[in-house]
Amino acid sequence: MTFNQSSLFGQIDDLQDLAIIERPIRRSLKTAEEIEKLTVDEDLNDIERAVFLLSSGQDVQRASVVVNLPNLVRQNPAETFRRVVPKVREVLHVAGVEMQLAAAGSFLTILQDDIILIQTHTHSILQIVLLNLDHRDAVVSNAWLETLLSAIDALPKETIRQEILNPLVSKAQLSQSVQARLASCRILGKVASKFECQMVKKDLLPLVRSLCQDVEYEVRSCMCRQLENIARGIGVDHTKAVVLPELVELARDEGSTVRLAAFDTIVNLLEMFDSDDRTRVIFPLVKAFCEKCFKADEAVLASLSFQYGRLCHGLSGSFTEDQHLWFLEFYKKLCILGLHLENGHCESQAYPLELERKYELVRKNCAYNFPAMVLFADPKCFLSELYPTFSSLCNDPEISVRRTAAAGFHEVAKLLGPNVHYIHKELVTLLQDDSLEVLDALMNSLQETLELATLRGDGAGADSKVSVPDLIPALAAAEQKAAASLRWRVHERLLQRYACLPRVISGDQIYFRFLQRMFTIITTNNVLPVQREAARTLCVFLRYNRKLEQRQEIIGKVVDQLAQGKSYWNRLRYLDLCEIAMELFSKSYFCKHFLAPALELVNDPVANVRYKLCCMLPRLKSTIRLPSEKPLLQQLEFCVRRLLCREKDKDVVSTIRKTVLDLDKMDITEPYHKRHERDLLDQKKEKEENLLLEMEQLERQQSEGKLTIDKHADKKRRDSKTGLSVAKNMSGSTSGAALSTSAGKEKKAKLARSRSLSSHPTTSKMVNSDKPPKGKESSSGPGTTKGTLVPINDDTLRSHHFSTASTSMSSTPSTSMPVLIRSNTTNTLDHRSNGTKDTQSRKLTIQRKSNSFGMQSGRE
């Protein structure tokens, strides 16, 4: 047998196997008799068809009728309730779970949509609902109970009184089943808010008391949780007299679930108790409950720890100092439950798995309540009272605890305010956490967290920032960790949050630590959303960079590595970056730096790049402003003509033809108000860009002026020291000047006169008609020349800074940034003027001494 024959026989065997597989499928098809049973006469109307299907149809057909029941009631309510609803009631006696649930949903829709207009119709539906409350299946019974509870909100009071409350009295008796009594508890809690206080007190409270003292702990627990609704229904006065004693008794119940229900209800009703009740009744009760749970009832500790923040916040106004301290210390114990300290670190102890999970949940709830406990303990006492606890939560061995602490980190930072530097170390720890879940939780409010963490105290300026130790390495390591994982959505969110870094750290730190990383992600990452988010973050970094050289280098890298990159994937990313740049930058900035390289991609050898460029042409044209940018418009039109004439790819050809039509309709179809809004937004962006340029120039001038002033100050100090030494030498020479010649006296007098005149140009008041000519100033000594030139340069620099500041203020809108420029410049000028005045006063003192010496020598 040849190879071909064997392969042929193998294929035949496979076909036979397929035939065997198909046989059960053919047998599963409906027979003619079954199809006959499913067929319904087309002449029947909707009501008759529903009655026929409910009587002799199959389960699927009956279920369809039950689901469609609200539509039948809308179309013909009288006939539906006369003929269809009784049939539905008969079917529900033997129906399965699915049909029961469908019927519960249909009747709820009928009761809530105000379809029923006659009271008898409501009575018939409520009878069906109440009848099925006692269904043997717990799922079905709960479904009908939820239907009834939801319908109570839509029913009138009289209907509730007659149809629900009257049967409720019998269902709440001890002779009824536990399921019926549990349903009675929930119904009592629901109807309490529908009636007046007197009616609730008279008719409902006796039932409430009896259910609170039921022999089954499940009933007592369920009724205890409904006491909150009962209390809000009867008011504050009756709550203190009726509900509070019941809560106290239930809080001491032997069942842990009953005690827990009482504790939750007390926490929810704290605002309804006065200060005296909180101090005398609530505090001892809650304290005993906490101590009992901590010692012997770990199951209740989870709910206790979850409600602990609300409890402390609600009782804080009534606590004494000792009570306040007790609750704070108990919270600290809960935060380290199941851990032990070793070498300053918290490590988990060896417990059974179930108990370990309970302790983990307790610590997680404590981390959730930590912001409330900071408020309870007073943020001023954070370092001494709660910092070790917060540090242990951030370093907890369980991921869920650290994740919860990271999710609330921004709330803690907000509460600490100027003392936020206390938790800088914990912020870096969470950023460097090994689990991406912790990092993901920190991402939700990372921008707010970083801004709060780097903000100085209230006395500092609005834009003054404080550096967080190891923050930049931690941010870079977090990004590297997210990039190395398979969870690209976390990486994308992280890059999105990094767009806030210009508001947190300096431009140089961003330039040297993050910019190159953004380029690497754009060019090498394999996930498109991550690449686009990195491109957006890169554009934000470029937008707020305040150094011209760095901006030019970034744009050069973008054009070189993306627009002119060897990979078509990078060139596509450049077009994505252009879309982002059109949103962030003004039209003029985009046209100046990004438009020309984008239009050059019309010659790209890859059709995908040309296709994307065709789709972007209308948006690119909208950035061109005439007549100043007419060459760019001509270049764009040349691209269109080139694509129309030489393009061979069919997708690109069809796209460019549609694009040409869109380009022609751009100025016609767009409403004026949208175009006007876009122009206003573009003007705002352009003003902000110009303002950044002015701020950059001003900072550069201030730095240069600062260097110049420092140099002149050093020279002045050296000149003043030289003048003092000369004056001392001259005063020493005057003591022995009796034997000097008349020529020496004249020489000293000229020297003193020239020095006294050289100080006059320093102030405007000293300029007079006795000012010597320039030739005489230039002929004076080198030390004198330096002293006269420094004040003139300082005044010139000062006037230049004032003119720059005034120009920037006049040419920019009234935003906060010009105010910052003006204040910084004024402070600098005041500092310079103060320094100049001090120098001038020292020089005048020296000159007075030299003048007095000259007068003495003249007299001699």
Percent of the chain with pLDDT over 70: 74
Task: Give the pLDDT of residue 457.
Answer: 54
**Tens digits of residue pLDDT in 565-593:** 999 999 999 999 999 999 999 989 999 99
Residue 846: Cβ within 10 Å count: 20
For residue 196, pLDDT over 60 is answered with yes
In this predicted model, which residue has the larger pLDDT, 730 or 681? 681
Q: Which residues contact 307 (CB under 8 A, 6 or more apart)?
A: 263, 264, 267
Contact 358, 302 (CB under 8 A): yes
Strand 339-342 and strand 345-348: the pairing is antiparallel
d(CA 542, CA 552): 9
Q: Which one of 9-13, 600-604, 673-677 scores highest in mean pLDDT? A: 600-604
Question: Does 666 have pLDDT greater than 50?
Answer: yes
Long-range contact set of residues 153-161: C-beta below 8 Å, sequence gap at least 24: 154/111, 154/112, 154/114, 155/111, 155/122, 157/194, 157/195, 159/119, 159/122, 159/126, 160/191, 160/194
Whether residue 474 has pLDDT greater than 90: yes
* For the ranges 141-155, 504-518, 692-706, 753-767, the one whose mean pLDDT is highest: 504-518
Q: Residue 15 pLDDT > 60, yes or no? A: no
pLDDT of residue 541: 95
Closest CA to 506 of 459, 541, 482: 541
Greater pLDDT, 716 or 721: 716
Q: How confident is the model at residue 626 (pLDDT cuts 50, 70, 90)?
A: confident
pLDDT confidence of 114, banded at 50, 70, 90?
low
- Which residues is 637 bridged to in the sheet? none
* C-alpha–C-alpha distance, residues 437 and 402, integer Å: 9
pLDDT tens by residue, 545-566: 988 899 999 999 999 999 999 9
Q: Which of 668, 854, 829 is nearest to 747 (CA)?
A: 854
| pLDDT at 647 (0 to 100) | 87
Q: What is the pTM (predicted TM-score) of this model?
A: 0.70
CA–CA gap between residue 129 and residue 123 (Å, rounded):
10
Q: What is the pLDDT of residue 4?
A: 52
Tokens of 379: 């943020």
Quick check: helix, strand or coil at residue 25? helix
User: Strand pairing partners for 455?
Assistant: 465
Within 8 A by CB and 6+ apart from 617, the residues are 636, 639, 640, 659, 663
What pLDDT was estimated at residue 669? 60
Strands (E), 622-763: none
- CB atoms closer than 10 angstroms to residue 537: 26
Closest residue by Cα to residue 339 from 303, 306, 365, 363:
363
Per-residue burial over 627-647, b if 16 or more Cβ lie within 10 Å, else e, is eebeebeebbeebbeebeeeb
CA 732 to chain centre: 76
Indicate if the pLDDT at residue 655 is higher than 60: yes
CA–CA gap between residue 167 and residue 147 (Å, rounded): 17
Cβ contact 187:148 at 8 Å: yes
Q: Which tokens is 575 given?
A: 């077009």
Higher pLDDT, 176 or 696: 176
pLDDT at 14: 57
CA distance 497 to 747: 76
**pLDDT, tens only, 773-807:** 433 333 333 343 333 333 334 344 333 433 433 34
Per-chain mean pLDDT for the chain: 78
% the chain with pLDDT above 90: 33
- 674 has a pLDDT exceeding 90: no
Task: Please tell me the distance from the alpha carbon of residue 145 to that of residue 138, in angstroms, as a whole number.
Answer: 10
pLDDT at residue 835 in the model: 46
CB distance 43 to 86 below 8 Å: no
CA–CA distance, 601 with 645 (Å, rounded to integer)? 16
Please give the residue that has the higher pLDDT: either 666 or 333: 333
- The end-to-end CA distance of the chain, in Å, is 144
Of residues 133 and 407, the one with the higher pLDDT is 407
pLDDT for 570 equals 94
What is the distance, to the nearest Å, from the Cα of residue 762 to the centroid of all Cα atoms in its chain?
Answer: 57
Candidates 570, 828, 855, 575; CA nearest to 730 is 855
What does the pLDDT read at residue 463? 47
What average pLDDT score do residues 308-332 get?
A: 89
**Hey, what's the torsion of the CAs at 545, 547, 552, 553, to 10 degrees?**
-80
pLDDT at position 737 is 41
- Summarize pLDDT for 200-220 with one digit per residue, the tens: 888 888 899 999 999 999 999
The type of residue at 68 is N
For residues 412-420, give the mean pLDDT.
92
Give the pLDDT confidence score for residue 369 in this predicted structure. 95
- Segment 457-484 mean pLDDT: 76
Taking CA atoms, 370 is separated from 270, 310, 348, 382, in Å, by 20, 11, 20, 11
User: How do residues 245-272 score in pLDDT, each as one tens digit?
Assistant: 999 999 888 888 898 899 999 999 988 8
pLDDT band at 459 (very low <50, low <70, confident <90, very high): very low
Residue 35 or residue 398, greater confidence: 398
Cα torsion 332, 333, 339, 341: sign = positive
**Which of the four pLDDT bands, split at 50, 70 and 90, describes residue 834?**
very low
- Predicted confidence at residue 138, as pLDDT, reads 86
Counting every residue, how long is the chain?
860
Question: How far apart, in whole angstroms, are the C-alpha atoms of residue 468 and residue 706?
Answer: 28
Which tens digits make up the pLDDT trace of 16-70? 555 555 545 445 566 777 676 677 777 788 888 888 888 888 888 888 989 999 8
Model confidence at 741: pLDDT above 50: no
